Amino acid sequence: MARMKFICDTERCIECNGCVTACKNENEVPWGVNRRRVVTVNDGIIGQEKSISVACMHCSDAPCMAVCPVDCFYRTDEGVVLHDKDICIGCGYCSFACPFGAPQFLSKGAFGTRSKMDKCTFCSGGPEANGSVAEFEKYGRNRLAEGKLPLCAEMCSTKALIGGDGDVIAGIFNQRVATREKNGKYPGSKAFGWTTAYGGPDAPAPTPTPAAKIPGAK
Amino acid sequence: MKRYLKTLGLSLAVTSLLVACSEPPEIAAKVAKRPDVAPYMGANDGFMTKGWTPGNQASWTESTDKRTQGQNEYSRVK
């Protein structure tokens, strides 16, 4: 059984925001809501600036599901965490529970009124009929039912963001990290490179390139 | 007898007053979750990829895994 997951490789992400744009366009996400965004840390520090594309991680033990007072979430057999907008009351609990800030709300009108929750669906729609107009209007495209994968990952220009069955994308990432190690990058890092992708105490800190060695840098 | 009727009337009045003050149950009917259709059943929206059979899970999984490898340049460029 497939377990759909995303991996974002911080060594490759160039903060182009192509994934953000692709997601908004493919799913016609309204202005003010970003299902996916790129987060950059150590901004401006040469050699240490890292970017990562973040959206719903479709957690195996999703905290949003645990806190939802109306139980609108469900997990598909493919491991995708989805929700029913007809049940959602827009309370925002999921937003507070999610460590990735995935649940989004469209603020409209006075007094901070919120819409129902909107989030990444791994391009697999919602409980409406697959590929129907109702599904598209509420949840966006159902690319999985079309035999495709999330557009953000499929169009990533540097293939920093990869999405698909967890075992398959872990294999791709494993091969990538092994090649890096073979070429002398971060020798001794963990086999799967998780610490390289997500940081950790075992990850050797990258050596910053002195500004004097970079043409044009001050 | 008159006193009895008076007491009875008073009791009935109090009872109806209390009934008027009672609250009907306000528990909202639970909205049932609708079952989602699995992606391997296909979409029938004209944008389906070729190479797999809608309704056949093994076929969909194989096709999707193959497509996932499209994100691996080590397998694309040899």
CA angle A194/A102/A124 to nearest 5° reads 90
H-helix segments, chain B = 2-21, 57-68, 73-76
pLDDT of A198: 47
Contact state of B64 with A149 under an 8 Å Cβ cutoff: yes
**For the domain bounded by A16-164, which CATH number is listed?**
3.30.70.20
**B68 CB near a chain A CB, below 8 Å?**
yes
A162-176 pLDDT, tens digit per residue, is 999 988 998 898 888
**A162 CB near a chain B CB, below 8 Å?**
yes
Alpha-carbon gap, residue A159 to B74, rounded angstroms: 11
pLDDT score of A17 more than 50? yes
Alpha-carbon gap, residue A117 to A125, rounded angstroms: 14
Task: Please tell me which of A97-101, B17-21, B29-33 the model is most confident about, judged by mean pLDDT.
Answer: A97-101
How many angstroms separate the Cα of A8 from the Cα of each of A14, A51, B28? Answer: 11, 9, 42
Contact state of A179 with B74 under an 8 Å Cβ cutoff: yes
Alpha-carbon gap, residue A191 to A51, rounded angstroms: 22
Contact state of B31 with A163 under an 8 Å Cβ cutoff: no
CA-based R_g, chain A, Å: 19
Distance from the A78 Cα atom to the nearest Cα atom in chain B, whole angstroms: 8
pLDDT score of B17 more than 80? no
Domain residue ranges in chain A: 16-164
pLDDT of A74: 94
A46-55, A127-136, A140-149: lowest mean pLDDT where?
A46-55
pLDDT band (50, 70, 90) for residue A188: very low
Task: Please tell me which of A39-53, A75-89, A99-113, A186-200 the model is most confident about, judged by mean pLDDT.
Answer: A75-89
Contact state of A82 with B36 under an 8 Å Cβ cutoff: yes
3-state SS assignment for residue B6: helix
Distance from the A172 Cα atom to the nearest Cα atom in chain B, whole angstroms: 6
Of residues A124 and B17, more confidently modeled: A124
**B55 CB near a chain A CB, below 8 Å?**
no
pLDDT of B77: 74
Q: Give the closest of B36, B49, B60 to A74, CB-based.
A: B36
CA-based R_g, chain B, Å: 34
pLDDT score of A215 more than 80? no
For the record, the structure tokens of B65 come out as 């895994």
**B29 CB near a chain A CB, below 8 Å?**
no
Q: Mean pLDDT across the stretch A77-104? A: 94
Q: Mean pLDDT across the stretch A146-151? A: 96
Residues in chain A with CB shorter than 8 Å from the CB of B37 are: 129-130, 145
A47-61, A194-208, B15-29: lowest mean pLDDT where?
A194-208
